[in-house]
Amino acid sequence: MKLNFKIPKHLKDAYNKELGLYDVALANNDFTNAWHHLERSHIIGQSYPIEHTYSHWLMLKLGFMQRNVKEVFGQIIRLIVGGWKSFINYVPLGNTGGANVSPLKSMPIPNDIQIVFHSK
């Protein structure tokens, strides 16, 4: 079994880029784009406990900002189980992390993110 502790630098850079774009969208009250970049950060970081958990934390906060009860509840559940699943590398790849999708469903990974995964 592979244990994931630390995200590789090339993935961390891509993850941080998405969080930066999230911050810009949020500052402009563009919740749709903010959410889009959180989903992308989730896809990139979901195999690493710290980044995975942080993406869900930001999703929870955005759910509160939007008063979205379904999202808040869904993120609380994901925060409880998501980190340890990352640690043991048992995540559904491509999953966007929102309460609108099953936490067990693998999803297609956007092409630009696939390229990041395969670069070093």
Residue for token digits 């067990």? 104
pLDDT tens-digit series, residues 17-34: 999 999 999 999 999 999
**Banded model confidence at residue 1, pLDDT cuts 50, 70, 90:** low
Sign of the Cα torsion 60, 66, 69, 71 reads: negative
Nearest to 76 by CA among 99, 93, 43, 104: 99
For residues 91-115, give the mean pLDDT. Answer: 94
- Alpha helix ranges (H) inside the chain: 9-27, 31-45, 49-65, 69-87, 111-118
pTM of the model: 0.93
CB 32 within 8 A of CB 38: no
